[in-house]
Amino acid sequence: MTSQPQPSQPNGSIEHFDVLIIGAGVSGMYAIHHFREMGLSVRAYDGASDVGGTWWYNRYPGARVDGPGSPFYCYTFSEELMQEWDWEETQSEWSAVLAYIEHVADKFDLRRDIQFETWVEDASYDEATQRWILQTSDGQRASARYLICAVGALSTTNKPDIPGIDDFTGETYHTGQWPHEPVSFAGKRVAVIGTGSSGIQAMPEIAKEADHVTVLQRTAQFAFPAANRAITKEEMADARANWEATKAKMLANPGGFPFDVHERTAADATPEEREAFYEELWQRGSFKFFLDLYTDIAMSEEANDSLADFVRKKIREIVKDPETADKLMPDHYVITKRPILENGYFEAYNRDNVSLVDLREDPIERFTETSVITQSGEHPIDVLVLATGFDAISGSMLRLNPQGRGGVRLKERWTDRFHNYLGLTIRGFPNLFMIHGPGSPGVFYNMPLGAERQMSWIGDFVRHLEKHGYAAAEPTTDSEEAWGNEVTGMASFTLFPKTDSWWTGANVPGKPRYFSVYLGGSIYYERLAGVASENYPGFDFEPDRQGGH
């Protein structure tokens, strides 16, 4: 490594670093650690007042890890960390995840290189010095050769543009920007817009306290039993004792979790066998439902229908009022929107204080100061909960809107597609790296592990540049195009692109509509390793014109 650590050195009004990192969530935190270990100087910025990113913001009632969960939704880089941290539940509540993240920040002394409550207002590439220059909300500037955008795949909230919504004078909360002060729903009439994972987690909790909850549903959803439970001492001990083997399994698994992969298909099963199998999975619940499912569910319409019918039948069994159950019947391909785990969501409709409005037949006309008016009439409310999700995957990069070569902004490049190579780099934006961006497995993979693996590749790439005296690298147009085709090509074998979802950008008006996630996580990491072992084909390299950093 030619570069030496440079403590932050004020030089006029600009500080110089080797690496600037935007975001101090799970990915940005690991980026700090990884680059420090490489001997590089780093500075990270985050608009929040502490670490955690998405977990810092999403503290709404009922917010939990709903992936395969604890103890494997965690960093893997430190065995000591694994050995010392106790997880209590399989689907940890947001506060437990945040406690872990804070522990990591303490243990590795990460906060000393993070400037909190600071927004990066501009990120521009300076071609003359071959460096990135950031301008921050506190009026400071910083420069670095490398820029890591750990801006989050689920962090730019999506607020619906409904007439009069800003006139509403009651309390309004977005699940993705939940206040840090306790919110009381006692004695209040609450409207919840949104029935994705957040709305489905939050509604039953709110209903326990509120006077009345009106759910305003645009799309009925398939949701599956969360089956959250305590992790036993034996399970924790087992995970620790077999950590190396467990980690190897995580690396090999397509989703980054330590489970065996199987090859069973619905096509090979009789209707009776399918029914019995779905029932078994339903009774067991948890994200394992999807991991153990038939492998053709997301590929074959017939296989998909068999599961969809099963779940619709379950919803009808749980929800007592047939009219409400009718409104709750999803009509898209099951699991082609992000699978949802529920803790009493469907049961909550059996409560007297919960009602459902199907916005497809009874759309919202407008808000007033005190109510929401749908076609069928007025619903007076005290609190509005927006569980309306995110401008996901690409939204936070576009919000940052960095300026690359020739003064070109990302918004100018990403008009029709989110052009990138390897889900990490963008032509015209040298030495800028995205974590969990479009073109990567991101939200289809164990996200802490994915961040570690992407960072590991970036670290090796940086070593390659330094070793060869290159100051900058960016992908070629051809490699971006080929990568885009690879991403959409993989998705085209599935039913995912056929459904409106945040995976396809359909939830945000005007967004390019295509499936931008790289399916098959472990194949992605094999692809990255292949590019590294071939000395990074697909990039243009630029020599160092400055003679060092």
Q: Which of 86, 92, 89 is nearest to 237 (CA)?
A: 86
Q: Is 326 exposed, middle or buried (0-12, 13-18, 19+ CB in 10 A)?
A: middle
Nearer to ligand NA7, 330 or 520 (CB): 330
Q: Name the residue with the smallest CB distance to ligand NA7.
A: 196
> What is d(CA 126, CA 182) in angstroms, rounded to the nearest whole number?
45
Q: Which of 186, 518, 169, 109 is nearest to 353 (CA)?
A: 186
Minimum CB distance to ligand NA7, residue 448 (Å): 14
Task: Decide: helix, strand or coil at residue 153.
Answer: coil
The single residue among 69, 389, 395, 437 that binds ligand NA7, judged by CB under 6 A, is 389
Q: Does 156 bind ligand NA7 (CB under 6 A)?
A: no
Site for ligand NA7 in 486-525 (CB under 6 A): 502, 507
> What is d(CA 207, CA 197) in angstroms, rounded to the nearest whole number?
16
Residue showing tokens 């199998």 = 277
CA torsion angle for 124, 127, 129, 131 (degrees, to 10)?
40
Minimum CB distance to ligand NA7, residue 499 (Å): 9
Minimum CB distance to ligand NA7, residue 228 (Å): 15
Angle subtended by helix axes 26-37 and 94-107, to nearest 10: 20
> What is d(CA 160, CA 284) in angstroms, rounded to the nearest whole number?
36
Q: Does 130 bind ligand NA7 (CB under 6 A)?
A: no
Nearer to ligand NA7, 143 or 156 (CB): 156
Tell me how many residues contact ligand NA7 (CB under 6 A): 21
Q: Does 381 bind ligand NA7 (CB under 6 A)?
A: no
Minimum CB distance to ligand NA7, residue 366 (Å): 13
Site for ligand NA7 in 178-207 (CB under 6 A): 193-199
Minimum CB distance to ligand NA7, residue 324 (Å): 17
Contacts of 303 (CB under 8 A, 6+ apart): 265, 266, 267, 294, 296, 297
Q: Does 154 bind ligand NA7 (CB under 6 A)?
A: yes
Site for ligand NA7 in 213-242 (CB under 6 A): 218-219
Query: Per the structure block, which two tokens stand in for 528?
Result: 């990255």
The single residue among 143, 388, 446, 522 that binds ligand NA7, judged by CB under 6 A, is 388
Minimum CB distance to ligand NA7, residue 141 (Å): 34
Sign of CA dihedral 471, 539, 135, 2: negative
Nearer to ligand NA7, 189 or 218 (CB): 218
Give the amino acid at 502. Answer: W
Minimum CB distance to ligand NA7, residue 148 (Å): 22
Q: Does 23 bind ligand NA7 (CB under 6 A)?
A: no
CB 205 within 8 A of CB 62: yes
Binding interface with ligand NA7 (CB under 6 A):
154, 160, 175, 193-199, 218-219, 338, 359, 387-390, 443, 502, 507
